[in-house]
Structure 1
């Protein structure tokens, strides 16, 4: 008799445990479905927006650079955000352990037009480097001067990129300036005492630089 009562008690406890487990599973399933429903509703109303795909393109060697740096190349990826863009620039085949300066420019080759200093970039011992910049890098990128102590000009788009040697002596020592007896100095760094351009986006037309293909 005592053994029969113990068996019944175990069966009741086992049944109650199964009921509790089933109730918990139903509750979790309902919560998951509710969350999925909320996410679907938010996505359909525009509250959750998937990221736009990145726009990618190459940078090519500037004039005479292939002679001294035959492996020089660059790769750019621009990802659109809700308020601004993320631009990542990666380079290879450049002079190792060397500083460079990145600009957004109006046209890829001389005289470059309107230029906007974006960032420094440093290569490692293998001549590779990368930098990430946040800003407006799409078909709405422009500069304007409505007046002031220096110059006045209307809205001018800058759809190209250019990368310059930070130190004028570096490209001269590398043989990137054939026929020159001293380093060429350009204003493309923070001290306005930079070297020549090493990479640009002349693989795109002057009036249709790569940034013009990035939708805002």
Structure 2
């Protein structure tokens, strides 16, 4: 190979290497810019408009799940709301069912099935639900006596009735209590609710549309 061709090949390799270094440096710089922007708050999600706790539904739940708790945030949107429900201290690797309800305790009144929620191996879990979750949340029918009914509370039920029974959450019972609060109408007892708010002024009533 001639000296000219050797020199040309060498220079070509140097040029390609320089381009690769330049691209890599540019990518690293871009990554740094994005990281800096994220850390400076440019990509922070909207701040929730209202936040509240869910509490154990009964002394029996306090006894069998002493660390059970829930935390809810609601963020208003232009057309609907985003609700985030997170739970702690529940039975691990277990399914639950989330409802918007008229009153937090029995007989619960009008209830609206919102979402499933699954806990991890630590008994923690969370779910996002999108809909109308504010002071205008209601059910309507043309049939009396249910003409117009607000639902301002939340309730969370065990999906499998056997789970709370096996956990000792139903002392004195000889068999699991079965409730209609899942898609098959064969759920367990309620584990968390919003009885920390008055029956007629549940947390959703504090969220302006």
TM-score (structure 2 length as normaliser): 0.76
Match of 1:66 in 2: 62
Match of 2:163 in 1: 170
Instruction: Give 3-state SS (helix, strand or coil) of 2:164's partner.
Output: helix
Give the direction of change, closer, same or farther, for the CA distance of 1:175–1:143 in structure 2 (3 Å limit): same
State how far apart, in whole Å, the 1-side matches of 2:56 and 2:204 are: 18
Please state if 1:196 is matched with 2:192. Answer: no
- Give the superposition deviation at 1:54: 2.2
Name structure 1 gaps, 5 residues minimum. 1-50
Please state if 1:57 is matched with 2:52. Answer: yes
State how far apart, in whole Å, the 1-side matches of 2:185 and 2:202 are: 25
State how far apart, in whole Å, the 2-side matches of 1:53 and 1:168 are: 34
Please state if 1:95 is matched with 2:65. Answer: no
- Give the superposition deviation at 1:52: 6.9
Alpha-carbon contact 2:48-2:73 (below 8 Å) kept: no
- Give the superposition deviation at 1:146: 1.0
Aligned length, in residue pairs: 163
Q: Who wins on radius of gyration, i.e. which is larger? A: 1
Runs of 4+ in 1 over 4 A off after TM superposition: none
Range that drifts further, 96-105 or 152-161: 152-161
Match of 1:135 in 2: 131
Alpha-carbon contact 1:52-1:80 (below 8 Å) kept: no
1:167-203, Cα deviation, whole Å (9 max, x unpaired): 0000000000011000000000000000000000000
Alpha-carbon contact 1:140-1:157 (below 8 Å) kept: yes
Instruction: Give 3-state SS (helix, strand or coil) of 2:62's partner.
Output: helix
Structural RMSD (CA): 1.1
Match of 1:117 in 2: 113
Match of 1:83 in 2: 79
Name structure 2 gaps, 5 residues minimum. 1-45
- Give the superposition deviation at 1:144: 1.1
